[in-house]
Amino acid sequence: MKIVGRHDEAPGVKTMRLEFQNPADHEEFRQKYRTGMFGLYGVYGEGESTFCVASPETRTDYIECTFRQSGRVTSALANADIGDLITFRGPYGNRFPIETFHGKNLLFISGGIALPPTRSVIWSCLDQREKFGKVTIIYGARTVADLVYKHELDEWQERADVDLVLTVDPGGESPDWKNKVGFVPTVLEEAAPSPENCIAVICGPPIMIKFTLISLKKLGFDETNVYTTLENRMKCGVGKCGRCNVGSIYVCKEGPVFTAAEVSRMPAADL
Amino acid sequence: MITQEKYRSKAKKLLAEGSVKMVIGYSPGSTPDRRRPVFIRSFDEADQLVLDSNCIANLSGYLVSEGLLSDEKHVAIFLRPDGIRSINILAAESQLNVDQIIIFGFDTNGNEVRALTGEHAGEFSEFIGSIKEHPPEKSRDPLLYQIEQMNPQERFAFWKDEFSRCIKCYACRQACPMCYCRRCIVDSNQPQWINTSSHTLGNFEWNVVRAFHLAGRCVGCGNCDRACPVNIPLRLINSRMAEEVLDSFDHFAGLNPAQEPVLASFKKDDSETFIL
Amino acid sequence: MTRCLFSNKLENCVTLWRSAGYSVIGPVRKDATSSYAAVEHAADFDLGMVLPDRSIKELFFPQTEPMLHYTIKQQAINTEEFTPPAGKRIIFGVRPCDASGLSIDDPLFGWDYKDEYWFQRRNESVIVTIACTKADDFCLCTSLKLAPDSTNGSDILLRPLENNNGWQVEELTERGREAFSAIAELLQEASEPTAPLAVVPEMFNLDTCVAWLQNPENFESKFWKDISMRCIGCGSCTYLCPTCHCFDIQDEGDTYSGIRRKNWDSCSFALFTMHTSGHNPRSTQSARWRQRIMHKFNYFPGKFSVNSCSGCGRCTRQCPVDMGITETLQKISTLHP
């Protein structure tokens, strides 16, 4: 796939827009891709790395991915320039069943570099805004600089049909920060969205997910109405290599999207 | 049997009075001639300890398991002379504090087991020095003589054949008390110094790099050799390197806890046969 | 009267099979270790060993295998996929546990994406298994509800004759029949009795163990820490296991050309599950050993209806610290479910 766009989101975090080189591959992607699925992005000579497709299922002319430069593959990806070719395998995994969210209020909760998978669902829903009720987005990062998709956050903030709550961890605020300061679960409890007819989608680091699930429970959310994605280490993406296993689940095939009810049946210590 | 009883009662006493939190020793294994490492934490478990000529493994690697010694409490451990040398090196490399270690020293000769005199690492220095001066007879592997007779091509072919079996399980590394790095060089991928694949190049890279890392540090305990599931004679490489270091620098690894690591220290009279 | 293959005809068999286009593989002892390897003559077989040190797995799922070759030139990436070398082969003298191991992994390599590396080799291999007349202290097939004459995964089962001069032939599959039709002239009808099978004592009650493993409360049991304290986290049990199938994918090369490879990997290694962020779902050796046991006897059977263990005992046999599945399950079977 060819890199056609490249954007620095936050220190070490980049978004790339990729276009298919082969029309048949593109058509297959259009047919298969639904929000929540992931892919393996690769640079020959370095390897492949797994992350979600950050663009929504309503926009399939391209693929967008957002990643933090941290390992061998992501460093190579980060060094790739517009016009360079990289590889994509996928889309793999299951999806957020957004057609079952029709007519419901949506609550998106996300932390740090985990906004990309949430963003894919958010846009998939906002692109057919009329089908959903109230949309609330709670997004937090360690510091103001670590917030990703800043221009889209501005856009959501301005939209009358979206409630956006932004927060940074204590100490991460900048002098001109006008939004909240506090950890995501705390901010969520303050915002206290109603569980009535509401679907929650949460993505974040394991520790955030753990405490956010507790907060949602406190607010009265039913575990079956809470969705999350598990971002495990993967290599093959097709249920063979074994490393994404959590209990009997192959996250790459049966996930990455799970309801909180499904997650609660997994061995907690292995998450 | 006498030695076993002696150390069992010593273990019970130390555990009962709380002067050690754990005794690392041997217990019966899954067959009559197998012994397995055991961690005894209370005096009533101490009867599981056995000591006989089947107790071969060098247990010193367990001392550097994460967190074991961080509470500054004492631990007792069964060690043969090679094991005592290992903890001397670990101490010299700042991996553990020997004052926390109570040594249950023993040595074997055929089926005979005898206790070594001493309790703390420093007390064995003289004894280890005597091993350096008078290495036990027949300790040199006959295969080494054979390999030395080979020309470089034959030697290369010999090791290529041996390494061709390597499956890169890294059991040699995991079994080695000297391989305590939290992140081994083979696990680093920026850059990827060593191929992870077990083809000829990858296998040579791994085994040669390991040999160099052990030069002047290996005590010849044989843990790697016994752990290797495909029976590559790893002992040959490391014992030959030890001879080389002894000849070049008069360094016998693990003489005492204060001995400077030979390849990490510089002496004016170090022999330099290849620079200048 | 049963059809028999007599040992003195084995050399002729090897010749006939080879001239019929099969490569012939069997248990071979070379240097200090034994494995299933190609032979030219029947005399190269070592049919006396309990079982080879290395499992049959590597003939189907090699420790390292190229997947594709890439070249990059002026904004064009060319890739060429490697497929396993084609060719019919007969693997003679396989142990029932090794053969069962293959059939255990079939569903895993076959669900969803069908692993062509595995299945091409499976389809081209004839597994000629010899029932066991001897076992050692580590064999545990009976504890896994298998037996010294299990037929799972085999195309032919040979039952050793009492006089140790040949085998009764049981054809199990079409592939096996075809391979044996090539040597039909060498088979003889005979009424010699078969040798008694190896006695493999049952080491634990599998159902009791599985019940304990399935109880979610036991996931956090202190048992896991105690049993795995001496585990040094080497991967030998997983690498020698005929059913362990985890792998890694690695690129070797530069920005111009190179090879993408599939290499064995192991759940015993800390890096196996480590996230880029540093978070590791299985950060302790006890969590990794628990995963291995759970995977084999709880998760895998839950998914594929078969235990991921064929009772070969290699894990214990080769363990540098004398651990293994037997000890763990023996202890579990004494615990309260």
Calculated CA dihedral for residues A99, A103, A109, A115, nearest 10 degrees: 40
- Chains with ≥3 CB–CB distances under 8 Å to B: A, C
Residue B23 has pLDDT above 90, yes or no: yes
Domain limits for position A124: 98-229
Q: Is B30 an interface residue toward C (CB < 8 Å)?
A: yes
- C326: pLDDT strictly greater than 90: yes
* Across B130-136, average pLDDT: 88
* DSSP bridge partners of C28: C35
C198, part of any domain = no
DSSP state of C186: G
Contact B57 C235 (CB under 8 A): no
Which of the residues C30, C33, C50, C64 would you substitute to probe the B interface, choosing the one with the greatest number of B C-beta atoms within 10 Å? C64
Tell me the mean pLDDT in the region A79-103. 94
Asked whether the beta carbons of A19 and A4 are under 8 A apart, the reply is yes
Indicate if A130 and A176 belong to the same structural domain: yes
Instruction: Print the domain residue range for C262.
Output: 206-333
In a domain, C280, yes or no: yes
Give the nearest chain A residue to C264 (CA atoms): A241
CA–centroid distance for A117 within its chain = 2
Give B-chain residues touching A74 at CB under 8 angstroms: none
pLDDT averaged over chain A?
A: 94
Q: Are the beta carbons of B20 and B42 closer than 8 angstroms?
A: no
Distance CA(B77)–CA(B22), nearest Å, equals 8
Residue A268: is it exposed, middle or buried by C-beta count within 10 angstroms (0-12/13-18/19+)?
A: middle
The reply to whether residue B197 touches residue C64, judged by beta carbons under 8 angstroms, is: yes
Is 0.90 topped by the overall pTM?
yes
Are A167 and A105 contained in the same domain? yes
Q: Strand, helix or coil at A255?
A: coil
- Please give, rounded to a whole number of angstroms, the shortest distance from the CA of B192 to a CA of chain A: 9
Looking at the fold, whether A45 and A63 belong to one and the same domain comes out as yes
Residue B276 has pLDDT above 70, yes or no: no
In a domain, A244, yes or no: no
Q: Do C142 and C172 lie in a common domain?
A: yes
Residue A159 banded pLDDT, cuts 50, 70, 90 = very high
Nearest CB to C236 within list B197, B229, B233: B229
**What is the average pLDDT score of chain B?**
92
Yes or no, beta carbons of A45 and C251 under 8 Å apart:
yes
Are residues A139 and A79 both part of a single domain?
Answer: no
Q: Are residues A42 and A152 in the same domain?
A: no
pLDDT at C112: 82
A122 and A10 inside one domain: no
A72 inside 8 A of chain C by CB: no
* Whole-number Å distance between alpha carbons of C309 and C325: 9
Please say which residue of C190, C219, C252 terminates a domain: C190
Q: Which of B226, B172, B247 is nearest to B29 (CA)?
A: B226
- Identity of the amino acid at B156: F
Q: Which residues of C touch A253 (CB under 8 A)?
A: 112
C185 lies in the same domain as C249: no
Residue B130 CB neighbours (<10 A): 11
Residues A123 and A80 in one domain: no
Among A57-66, C37-46, C75-84, C209-218, the range scoring the smallest mean pLDDT is C75-84
User: Is residue A73 domain-resident?
Assistant: yes
The reply to whether residue C240 touches residue B227, judged by beta carbons under 8 angstroms, is: no
- Domain stop point among C131, C162, C190: C190
- Residue-wise burial string across C44-64, b where 16 or more C-beta atoms lie within 10 A, e elsewhere: bbebebbbbbbbbbbbbbbbb
The pLDDT of residue C336 is 78
Q: Can you tell me the distance from the alpha carbon of C132 to that of C139, in angstroms, rounded to the nearest whole number?
A: 11
Mutation target vs A (from C251, C284, C294, C303; most A CBs, 10 A cutoff)? C251
Q: Do C32 and B233 make contact, defined as CB atoms within 8 angstroms?
A: yes
**Cβ within 8 Å, pair C316-B30:** yes
Tell me which amino acid residue C57 is: K
* DSSP three-state, residue A153: helix
Does the residue A105 lie in any domain? yes
Under a CB-based contact definition with an 8 Å cutoff, are residues C44 and C28 in contact?
yes
Considering only CB atoms, B30 lies closest to which of C63, C233, C327, namely: C327
Tally of domains within chain A: 2
State the burial class of residue B96 (Cβ atoms within 10 Å of its Cβ: 0-12, 13-18, 19+): buried
C211 and C140 assigned to the same domain:
no
Q: Please report which confidence band the pLDDT of residue B275 belongs to, taking 50, 70 and 90 as the band edges.
A: low
Residue A240 belongs to a domain: no
Alpha-carbon distance A50 to A67, whole Å?
9
Of B8, B5, B58, nearest in space to B175 by CA: B58
C264 in the same domain as C162: no
Contacting residues of C for A205, CB less than 8 Å apart: 277, 279
Distance between CA atoms of residues C170 and C152, nearest Å = 13
From the list C236, C316, C324, which residue is nearest B171 (CB)? C236
CATH number of the domain encompassing residue A58: 2.40.30.10
Q: Is B200 on the interface with C (CB under 8 A)?
A: no
Mean pLDDT of C15-22: 96
pLDDT in tens, C226-282: 999 999 999 999 999 999 999 999 999 888 899 999 999 999 999 999 888 888 999
Domain boundary pick from C158, C190, C222: C190
* A81 interfacial to chain C (CB closer than 8 Å): no
Partner-chain contact C234 B170, CB within 8 Å: yes
Q: Which of these three, A196, A214, A229, is where a domain ends?
A: A229
Q: Does A87 lie at the interface with C, CB-CB under 8 angstroms? A: yes
Which residue type does A175 have? P
Residue C290 lies in a domain: yes
Residues A160 and A42 in one domain: no
- Are B189 and A71 in contact (CB < 8 Å)? yes
Q: How many CB pairs under 8 A join A and B?
A: 6
Give the 3-state DSSP-derived string for chain B, with helices as H, strands as E and coil as C: CHHHHHHHHHHHHHHHCCCCCEEEEEEECCCCCCEEEEEECCHHHHHHCCCCCCCCCCHHHHHHCCCCCCCCCCEEEEECHHHHHHHHHHHHCCCCCHHHEEEEEEEEECCEEEECCCCCHHHHHHHHHHHHHCCCCCCCCHHHHHHHHCCHHHHHHHHHHHHCCCCCCCHHHHHCCCCCCCCCHHHCECCECCCCCCCHHHHHHHHHHHHHHHCCCCCCCCHHHHHCCCCCCHHHHHHHHHHHHHHHHCCCCCCCCCCCCHHHCCCCCCCCCCCC
The answer to whether residues A43 and A137 belong to one domain is no
Q: Is C105 helix (H, G, I), strand (E, B) or coil?
A: helix
Q: Report d(CA C257, CA C83) in Å as an integer.
A: 18
On whether the CB atoms of residues A70 and B189 are closer than 8 A, the answer is: no
Can you give the pLDDT at residue B271?
75
Q: Which of B192, B231, B194 is nearest to B210 (CA)?
A: B194
Cβ-Cβ contacts under 8 Å, A45 against chain C: 70, 251, 253-255, 258
> How far is it, in rounded angstroms, from Cα A124 to Cα A53?
12
A149: domain CATH number?
3.40.50.80
Q: By C-alpha distance, which of C188, A55, C45, C286 is closest to B65?
A: C286
Question: Structurally, how many domains does chain C consist of?
Answer: 2
Task: Return all residues near C20 (Cβ < 8 A) that are at least 6 apart.
Answer: C182
pLDDT, tens only, B67-118: 899 999 999 999 999 999 999 999 999 999 999 999 999 999 888 999 999 9
Query: By CA distance, what is A75's nearest residue in B?
Result: B190
Would the CB atoms of B189 and A75 count as touching at under 8 Å? no
Whether A128 is in a domain gets the answer: yes
**Can you tell me the distance from the alpha carbon of A55 to that of A61, in angstroms, rounded to the nearest whole number?**
10
Say if strands C33-38 and C125-130 run parallel, antiparallel, or are unpaired: unpaired
Nearest CA in chain C to B41: C226
DSSP C295: I
- Judge if C211 and C99 occupy the same domain: no
Closest A-chain CA to B191: A72
B180: confidence class by pLDDT, cuts 50, 70, 90: very high
Q: Is C76 exposed, middle or buried (0-12, 13-18, 19+ CB in 10 A)?
A: exposed
Q: Which amino acid is at C235?
A: G
The mean pLDDT value for B240-249 works out to: 91
Total Cβ atoms within 10 A of residue A116: 23
Are C231 and C317 in a shared domain? yes
Q: In whole angstroms, how far apart are CA C194 and each of C7, C71, C159, C167, C170?
A: 14, 58, 6, 8, 12
H or E stretch at A213: helix A206-218
Tell me if A247 is assigned to some domain. no
- Show Cβ contacts of residue B231 under 8 Å, excluding neighbours closer than 6 positions: B165, C31, C32, C33, C53
Nearest residue in chain A measured CA to CA from B189: A72
Q: Is the pLDDT of residue C48 over 70?
A: yes
Structure tokens, B102: 């109570």
Put simply, whether C320 touches B (Cβ < 8 Å) is: yes
The per-residue DSSP string of C143-185 comes to: GGT--TT--TT-SEEEEEBTTSSEEEEEE-SHHHHHHHHTTGG
ipTM entry: 0.91
Find the mean pLDDT for residues A78-101: 94
Minimal C-alpha gap between A235 and chain B (Å): 15
Is C322 a member of any domain?
yes
C235 and C127 both lie in a single domain: no
Chains near A (3 or more Cβ pairs under 8 Å): B, C
3-class DSSP state of C312: coil
Residue A85 and residue A14 share a domain: yes
| Domain assignment of residue C95, yes or no | yes
Question: Is residue B35 a contact partner of residue B56, using CB atoms and an 8 Å limit?
Answer: yes
Residue B231 and residue C229: Cβ atoms within 8 Å? no
Task: Tell me, yes or no, whether A77 and A167 share the same domain.
Answer: no
Q: Does B189 touch chain A (CB under 8 A)?
A: yes
- Strand runs (DSSP E) across chain C, as ranges? 2-6, 23-30, 33-38, 64-73, 76-81, 89-94, 125-130, 156-160, 166-171, 188-190, 247-253, 257-264
Could you tell me which chain C residue has the CA closest to the CA of A244?
A: C273
B230 touches chain C (CB under 8 A): yes
pLDDT per residue as tens digits for the range A101-143: 999 999 999 999 999 999 999 999 999 999 999 999 999 999 9
Looking up tokens 């004494």 gives C334
Out of A31, A57, A92, pick the residue that ends a domain. Answer: A92
CB contact under 8 A, C112 and A46: no
Sheet holding A226-229, edge to edge: A180-181, A163-168, A135-141, A105-111, A198-203, A226-229, A257-259
Round to whole Å and give the CA distance between A111 and A53: 17
Q: Tell me which of C1 and A59 has the higher pLDDT.
A: A59
Q: Is residue C201 part of a domain?
A: no
Split at pLDDT 50, 70, 90, the class of A31 is very high
Is 70 exceeded by the pLDDT of residue B6? yes
Whether the CB of B146 is below 8 Å from some CB of chain C: the reply is no
Are C86 and C184 found together in one domain? yes
Give kind and range of the element (H or E) at residue C315.
helix C314-317
For residue A246, the chain C residues in CB contact (below 8 A) are: 281
Query: Do A68 and A114 have their domain in common?
Result: no
CB-count burial class (<10 Å; 0-12, 13-18, 19+) for B221: buried
C interface mutation test: which of A50, A240, A265 has the most C CBs within 10 A? A240
Nearest chain A residue to B190 by CA: give it: A72
| Same domain? C13 vs C158 | yes
Q: Is residue C273 part of a domain?
A: yes
> In the predicted model, is pLDDT for residue B274 greater than 70?
no
Mutant choice from C54, C137, C234, C248 vs B, greatest count of B C-beta within 10 A = C234
Q: Is the pLDDT of residue A59 over 70?
A: yes
Pairing of strands C64-73, C257-264: antiparallel
Domain final residue, candidates A92, A125, A148: A92
Is position A134 within any domain? yes
- Cross-chain Cβ contact C299/A269 below 8 Å: no
Same-domain pairing of C125 and C254: no
Are residues C127 and C51 part of one domain? yes
Binary contact (C235, B169; C-beta < 8 A): yes
**Do both C28 and C169 map to the same domain?**
yes
Q: What would the pLDDT profile of C120-158 be if each residue is shown by its tens digit?
A: 999 999 999 999 999 999 999 999 999 999 999 999 999
Q: Is residue A140 part of a domain?
A: yes
- Chain C environment of B202 (Cβ under 8 Å): 64
Q: What is the mean pLDDT of chain C?
A: 94
